[in-house]
Amino acid sequence: MSVQRGAARSAIPPVLCALAAALFLQLAGSTVAYQASYDKLLNDTELFGYLTDYRGMRKNGLLLSGIVINDLYNSGILSGISVTHSRPYRYGVDPPEVSGGYAWETYIDEIASGPKHVWTNDLASVQEFYGCPELPLTLMDGYDLSVFSAFPAGETLIDEFVEFDDDNDYNEFPGFNWAVHEPTPAVVSTAFLESNGLVHGDVIVIATTDGEYRFYEELLIIGSFDRQGSEDNIYSPLCGYSVTYTSTQTVSGNEGYYIGSMEYLYLPSSYIFDPDPTLEQLRKLSFESADLSMTGASGLDEFKDFLYDRGYSEVNTIRDIRSFVVIEDKTFLATERAMAQRLWYMERIFPALYALLELLALLIPFILIQARKRESALMRVQGAAKRTAFFSVFWEQAMLCIPGVAIGMGVWVALFGAPAAAGRDLALLFALLWLLGAAVSAASLNRGSVRSILRAEE
């Protein structure tokens, strides 16, 4: 009955409690969601970098030592490093019958002017496919892009040296443990297939050169792509690139000259990922580009410190190691700073707002009940006990506050889903403080005599 008599006055507590509960859930939920977004930015953002020239103008056509690639890989901070090595090639061009002389030089020059045979462990990182949202590539059944990053099981450095005492000793030598290779998988342009009458699954032999020596490469065509440039480049897995070296030394003996020693070196490109390599061997491997990736920004500062301590150069700044590293973190840092600043404000302003609302939870019911002193006094004049007068106004506030909080929380949950624990606890604390304020105010009404209360009201 008291609630019905209160009319508009009785609508104030449930409305305020509902709005306060919803506000608590919204603010706490926003803080938790923003913190989760910030953590996701730090943990899941993939940052990229690359090695370049002094001016930062080129990413390809560089001369990068295997020592640099191995050092960056073994930093333990990067999630990936993609490299390329290439040599010009020709297909279907016959060599001159006699090596040496003008005809041979012309033949080598013709190879050197050809398109590129590129070895890489990440096809998407090569220059031809920059900017392609999806690789325009078709592969044979049984193959996927992982073929470019795979290395043969058990592949290792072979470095053997043997000495001979005489020709008989040399003639009895069984030979080195030569590395044996199957045709290297390769993808070619559709234009290359059509112009040469080839199909997927064919094996071809191309001639390549490093400017001094000629090499023959046996390739298995496992796929084709739509050419993005003017050249019919060929792309193979990085495992197809290796350095092979053989040498003999002739010495003079009692019966003339004989082969006194032989050396054989097979250095696979996978050696750049060796945790404990020999620097002398790493120098024999060279690369033309290197792209870096890092999942999660937690190691960004650590990687920058690593580069500085090692002495790597920056664009327009030469240091001990003349390999220029660029980290594409400008957008990330701007986003991170903006989010961190907003989170900083939320973590300081919202608690102050929480404290103000909880204080109002004590103050508002106190004021509402104090405004009903005359009504409480009249109840006591009519014979109601102090206990009765107390619970009359207290239970009224409880009947208005608790449903209000429940409605506010219920509407918010219906609209936005499960609330944050902090928001739920703040809403419940608001209800408890509202009841506490109501109890203190109701108890204070019964401290004075009825006569003094009525006199004060008049």
The string of pLDDT tens digits covering residues 320-360 is 999 999 999 999 999 999 999 999 999 999 999 999 999 99
* Mean pLDDT of all residues in 271-291: 93
User: Hey, what's the torsion of the CAs at 222, 225, 230, 232, to 10 degrees?
Assistant: 10
* Mean pLDDT of all residues in 61-68: 94
* Mean pLDDT of all residues in 398-426: 92
8-44 and 386-416 helices, crossing angle to 10°: 40
* Maximum Cα–Cα distance across the chain: 141
Q: Does the pLDDT of residue 226 top 50, yes or no?
A: yes
Q: How confident is residue 452, by pLDDT bands cut at 50, 70 and 90?
A: low
DSSP classification of residue 296 = S
pLDDT at 228: 92
The string of pLDDT tens digits covering residues 207-224 is 999 877 888 999 999 999
Q: The tokens 């993609």 sit on which residue?
A: 82
How far are the Cα atoms of 73, 300, 335 from residue 37, in angstroms, in the given order?
Answer: 29, 18, 11
Q: Show contacts of 328-331: CB within 8 Å, 24+ apart.
A: 328/47, 328/48, 328/49, 328/50, 329/47, 329/49, 329/297, 329/300
How far are the Cα atoms of 96, 102, 139, 202, 429 from residue 107, in angstroms, in the given order?
Answer: 7, 9, 33, 25, 87
* Mean pLDDT of all residues in 231-256: 83
CA–CA dist 247, 261 (Å, integer): 8
Q: Which two tokens stand for residue 399?
A: 């009947």
Helix (H) or strand (E) holding 85: strand 80-90
How far are the Cα atoms of 163, 261, 263 from residue 258, in angstroms, in the given order?
Answer: 11, 9, 15
pTM recorded for the entire structure: 0.79
Q: How confident is residue 153, by pLDDT bands cut at 50, 70 and 90?
A: confident
* Mean pLDDT of all residues in 391-405: 87
Report whether 223 contacts 140 (CB < 8 A): yes
pLDDT at 377: 59
Q: Pairing relation of β-strands 321-328 and 46-52?
A: antiparallel
Q: Does the pLDDT of residue 32 top 50, yes or no?
A: yes
Q: How confident is residue 170, by pLDDT bands cut at 50, 70 and 90?
A: low
User: In a 3-state reduction of DSSP, which class is residue 458?
Assistant: coil
Helix (H) or strand (E) holding 447: none
Looking at per-residue pLDDT, the higher value among 366 and 306 belongs to 306
pLDDT at 142: 92
Q: Does the pLDDT of residue 184 top 60, yes or no?
A: yes
Q: Does the pLDDT of residue 14 top 80, yes or no?
A: yes
Question: What are the two backbone dihedrals, phi and then psi, of residue 90, each rounded to the nearest 5 degrees?
Answer: -140, 145
CA–CA dist 401, 414 (Å, integer): 20
pLDDT at 1: 47
**In the chain, domain spans:** 2-40+337-457, 46-295
Q: Which two tokens stand for residue 173?
A: 């030598």
pLDDT at 36: 94
Report whether 318 contacts 54 (CB < 8 A): yes
Q: Which two tokens stand for residue 445?
A: 């009404």
Q: Does the pLDDT of residue 454 top 60, yes or no?
A: no
Tally of residues, the chain: 458
